[in-house]
Protein backbone atom coordinates (compact mmCIF):
# COMPACT_ATOMS: atom_id res chain seq x y z
CA UNK A 1 0.00 0.00 0.00
CA UNK A 2 1.75 3.12 -1.27
CA UNK A 3 0.76 6.58 -0.10
CA UNK A 4 1.79 10.07 -1.14
CA UNK A 5 1.69 12.82 1.48
CA UNK A 6 1.65 16.36 0.06
CA UNK A 7 2.68 18.87 2.71
CA UNK A 8 1.10 22.35 2.79
CA UNK A 9 0.98 23.12 -0.95
CA UNK A 10 -1.04 26.23 -0.16
CA UNK A 11 -1.19 29.76 -1.53
CA UNK A 12 0.37 31.10 1.67
CA UNK A 13 3.64 29.26 1.03
CA UNK A 14 3.88 30.18 -2.67
CA UNK A 15 5.02 33.48 -4.18
CA UNK A 16 2.30 36.06 -3.51
CA UNK A 17 1.35 34.33 -0.25
CA UNK A 18 1.89 35.59 3.27
CA UNK A 19 4.80 33.24 4.09
CA UNK A 20 6.24 32.61 0.64
CA UNK A 21 8.82 29.87 0.24
CA UNK A 22 11.27 30.83 -2.54
CA UNK A 23 10.11 29.10 -5.74
CA UNK A 24 7.41 27.32 -3.75
CA UNK A 25 5.16 27.24 -6.81
CA UNK A 26 7.79 25.15 -8.63
CA UNK A 27 6.70 22.08 -6.67
CA UNK A 28 3.35 22.06 -8.49
CA UNK A 29 4.25 20.45 -11.83
CA UNK A 30 6.30 17.79 -10.02
CA UNK A 31 3.66 17.13 -7.36
CA UNK A 32 0.99 16.87 -10.05
CA UNK A 33 3.11 14.40 -12.02
CA UNK A 34 3.39 12.25 -8.88
CA UNK A 35 -0.35 12.54 -8.21
CA UNK A 36 -1.24 11.56 -11.78
CA UNK A 37 1.37 8.77 -12.03
CA UNK A 38 -0.85 5.93 -10.88
CA UNK A 39 1.95 4.87 -8.49
CA UNK A 40 -0.07 5.62 -5.37
CA UNK A 41 -3.00 3.81 -3.78
CA UNK A 42 -3.68 6.72 -1.45
CA UNK A 43 -3.00 10.46 -1.66
CA UNK A 44 -3.17 12.73 1.39
CA UNK A 45 -2.64 16.50 1.57
CA UNK A 46 -1.90 18.43 4.75
CA UNK A 47 -3.21 21.96 5.20
CA UNK A 48 -1.81 24.54 7.64
CA UNK A 49 -5.01 25.87 9.17
CA UNK A 50 -4.53 28.53 11.83
CA UNK A 51 -7.17 30.50 13.69
CA UNK A 52 -6.76 34.30 13.42
CA UNK A 53 -4.38 35.52 16.11
CA UNK A 54 -2.51 32.19 16.32
CA UNK A 55 0.33 32.25 18.86
CA UNK A 56 2.95 31.53 16.16
CA UNK A 57 2.15 34.87 14.51
CA UNK A 58 4.49 37.77 15.36
CA UNK A 59 1.40 39.98 15.30
CA UNK A 60 0.17 38.18 18.43
CA UNK A 61 3.31 39.25 20.36
CA UNK A 62 3.69 43.00 20.88
CA UNK A 63 7.18 44.16 19.89
CA UNK A 64 8.04 41.00 17.98
CA UNK A 65 8.78 41.03 14.27
CA UNK A 66 8.38 38.15 11.83
CA UNK A 67 11.35 35.74 11.72
CA UNK A 68 12.52 36.67 15.23
CA UNK A 69 12.45 33.92 17.84
CA UNK A 70 9.91 34.52 20.58
CA UNK A 71 8.12 32.39 23.14
CA UNK A 72 4.91 30.39 22.87
CA UNK A 73 3.55 28.50 25.88
CA UNK A 74 6.97 28.76 27.52
CA UNK A 75 8.96 27.41 24.58
CA UNK A 76 11.06 29.12 21.90
CA UNK A 77 8.94 29.78 18.83
CA UNK A 78 9.75 31.29 15.47
CA UNK A 79 7.54 34.32 14.98
CA UNK A 80 5.87 33.95 11.60
CA UNK A 81 3.95 36.47 9.55
CA UNK A 82 0.21 35.87 9.78
CA UNK A 83 -0.38 32.99 7.37
CA UNK A 84 -2.87 30.31 6.39
CA UNK A 85 -5.69 31.73 8.48
CA UNK A 86 -8.70 29.42 8.34
CA UNK A 87 -11.04 30.10 5.41
CA UNK A 88 -8.75 32.71 3.86
CA UNK A 89 -7.37 32.62 0.31
CA UNK A 90 -3.90 32.23 1.86
CA UNK A 91 -4.94 28.91 3.42
CA UNK A 92 -6.42 27.47 0.22
CA UNK A 93 -4.48 24.87 -1.68
CA UNK A 94 -2.65 26.29 -4.70
CA UNK A 95 -5.20 26.41 -7.52
CA UNK A 96 -2.97 24.32 -9.83
CA UNK A 97 -2.78 21.39 -7.39
CA UNK A 98 -4.66 18.35 -8.65
CA UNK A 99 -6.82 18.30 -5.55
CA UNK A 100 -9.51 16.13 -7.13
CA UNK A 101 -7.17 13.14 -6.80
CA UNK A 102 -6.55 13.75 -3.08
CA UNK A 103 -8.29 11.16 -0.89
CA UNK A 104 -7.91 12.85 2.48
CA UNK A 105 -7.02 16.31 3.80
CA UNK A 106 -5.30 16.57 7.18
CA UNK A 107 -5.61 20.03 8.69
CA UNK A 108 -3.21 21.14 11.43
CA UNK A 109 -2.21 24.13 13.53
CA UNK A 110 -5.66 24.90 14.93
CA UNK A 111 -4.55 25.18 18.58
CA UNK A 112 -3.57 28.85 19.12
CA UNK A 113 -1.22 27.93 22.00
CA UNK A 114 1.07 25.56 20.07
CA UNK A 115 2.43 25.40 16.53
CA UNK A 116 2.18 22.25 14.45
CA UNK A 117 4.79 21.82 11.77
CA UNK A 118 4.22 18.09 11.49
CA UNK A 119 1.08 16.74 9.85
CA UNK A 120 1.09 14.06 12.57
CA UNK A 121 1.19 16.02 15.85
CA UNK A 122 1.66 19.39 17.51
CA UNK A 123 5.21 20.64 18.13
CA UNK A 124 4.92 19.80 21.84
CA UNK A 125 4.11 16.25 20.71
CA UNK A 126 1.07 16.17 23.01
CA UNK A 127 -1.86 16.30 20.57
CA UNK A 128 -2.03 13.91 17.61
CA UNK A 129 -3.79 14.96 14.42
CA UNK A 130 -4.99 11.40 13.74
CA UNK A 131 -3.03 11.04 10.50
CA UNK A 132 -0.82 8.20 11.78
CA UNK A 133 -3.89 6.17 12.78
CA UNK A 134 -5.52 6.95 9.44
CA UNK A 135 -2.51 5.70 7.46
CA UNK A 136 -2.12 2.65 9.73
CA UNK A 137 -5.80 1.75 9.25
CA UNK A 138 -5.36 1.99 5.48
CA UNK A 139 -2.48 -0.48 5.71
CA UNK A 140 0.10 1.90 4.29
CA UNK A 141 3.54 0.30 3.98
CA UNK A 142 5.32 2.94 1.89
CA UNK A 143 5.00 6.68 2.38
CA UNK A 144 6.47 9.26 0.02
CA UNK A 145 6.30 12.88 1.06
CA UNK A 146 7.07 16.25 -0.44
CA UNK A 147 5.88 19.86 -0.44
CA UNK A 148 6.47 23.03 1.58
CA UNK A 149 8.53 23.86 3.46
CA UNK A 150 11.39 21.32 3.47
CA UNK A 151 13.05 22.84 6.57
CA UNK A 152 9.84 22.99 8.64
CA UNK A 153 6.68 21.08 7.90
CA UNK A 154 8.14 18.52 5.49
CA UNK A 155 11.06 17.72 7.81
CA UNK A 156 8.97 17.33 10.96
CA UNK A 157 6.34 15.29 9.12
CA UNK A 158 9.01 12.93 7.76
CA UNK A 159 10.66 12.48 11.17
CA UNK A 160 7.30 11.81 12.80
CA UNK A 161 6.34 9.36 10.05
CA UNK A 162 9.46 7.30 10.80
CA UNK A 163 8.78 7.38 14.54
CA UNK A 164 5.00 6.93 14.51
CA UNK A 165 4.67 4.43 11.65
CA UNK A 166 7.17 1.71 12.50
CA UNK A 167 7.81 -0.63 9.58
CA UNK A 168 6.71 1.93 7.00
CA UNK A 169 9.31 2.97 4.42
CA UNK A 170 9.48 6.78 4.31
CA UNK A 171 10.91 8.71 1.36
CA UNK A 172 11.38 12.45 0.88
CA UNK A 173 11.03 13.59 -2.73
CA UNK A 174 13.51 16.41 -3.02
CA UNK A 175 12.56 18.06 -6.32
CA UNK A 176 8.88 18.15 -5.32
CA UNK A 177 9.81 20.23 -2.27
CA UNK A 178 11.21 23.68 -1.51
CA UNK A 179 12.49 25.25 1.72
CA UNK A 180 12.60 28.64 3.41
CA UNK A 181 16.33 28.80 4.20
CA UNK A 182 19.09 27.01 2.21
CA UNK A 183 21.10 26.12 5.33
CA UNK A 184 17.91 24.89 6.96
CA UNK A 185 17.14 22.73 3.95
CA UNK A 186 20.58 21.13 4.09
CA UNK A 187 20.22 20.46 7.83
CA UNK A 188 16.71 19.08 7.28
CA UNK A 189 17.92 16.64 4.63
CA UNK A 190 20.79 15.52 6.88
CA UNK A 191 18.37 15.05 9.81
CA UNK A 192 15.91 13.09 7.70
CA UNK A 193 18.63 10.86 6.30
CA UNK A 194 20.08 10.26 9.77
CA UNK A 195 16.70 9.09 11.03
CA UNK A 196 16.09 6.65 8.20
CA UNK A 197 14.21 8.73 5.64
CA UNK A 198 15.28 7.90 2.08
CA UNK A 199 16.05 10.93 -0.11
CA UNK A 200 14.73 10.44 -3.64
CA UNK A 201 14.05 12.38 -6.82
CA UNK A 202 10.73 12.28 -8.65
CA UNK A 203 12.57 10.65 -11.54
CA UNK A 204 13.58 7.70 -9.34
CA UNK A 205 10.11 7.51 -7.82
CA UNK A 206 8.41 7.51 -11.22
CA UNK A 207 10.86 5.11 -12.91
In degrees rounded to 5, what are phi and psi of residue 87?
70, 10
Report d(CA 72, CA 151) in Å as an integer. 20
Question: Which x/- pattern, by CB under 6 A, does the window 136-175 give for ligand VGL?
Answer: ------------xx--xx----------------------
- Catalytic, 96? Answer no
Please select the residue that binds ligand VGL; options are 5, 8, 174, 205, rule is CB under 6 A: 8
CB of 48 to ligand VGL, least distance (A): 5
Report d(CA 174, CA 202) in Å as an integer. 8
CB of 80 to ligand VGL, least distance (A): 5
* Strand-pair partners of 147: 7
- Determine which one of 48, 84, 90, 108 is catalytic: 108
User: Which 33-62 positions form the footprint of Zn ion (CB under 5 A)?
Assistant: 48
CB of 126 to Zn ion, least distance (A): 17
What is the H or E stretch that residue 6 is in? strand 2-7
Question: Which x/- pattern, by CB under 6 A, does the window 108-127 give for ligand VGL?
Answer: ---------x----------
Report d(CA 107, CA 85) in Å as an integer. 12
- Determine which one of 84, 153, 155, 160 is catalytic: 153
Query: For residue 146, what is the DSSP state?
Result: E
Report d(CA 9, CA 97) in Å as an integer. 8
CB of 108 to ligand VGL, least distance (A): 9
Report d(CA 189, CA 85) in Å as an integer. 28
Query: Is the C-alpha dihedral spanning 184, 194, 42, 128 positive or negative?
Result: negative
Q: Does 185 bind ligand VGL (CB under 6 A)?
A: no
Contact footprint for ligand VGL (CB under 6 A): 8, 13, 48, 80, 117, 148-149, 152-153
Active site residues: 8, 108, 153
Contact footprint for Zn ion (CB under 5 A): 48
Amino acid sequence: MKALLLIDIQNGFCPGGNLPVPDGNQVLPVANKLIDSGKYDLIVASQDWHPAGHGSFASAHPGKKPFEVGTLSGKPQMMWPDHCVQNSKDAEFHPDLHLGAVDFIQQKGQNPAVDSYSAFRDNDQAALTGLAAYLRNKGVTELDLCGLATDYCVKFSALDAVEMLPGVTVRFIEDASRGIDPAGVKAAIDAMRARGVAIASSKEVLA
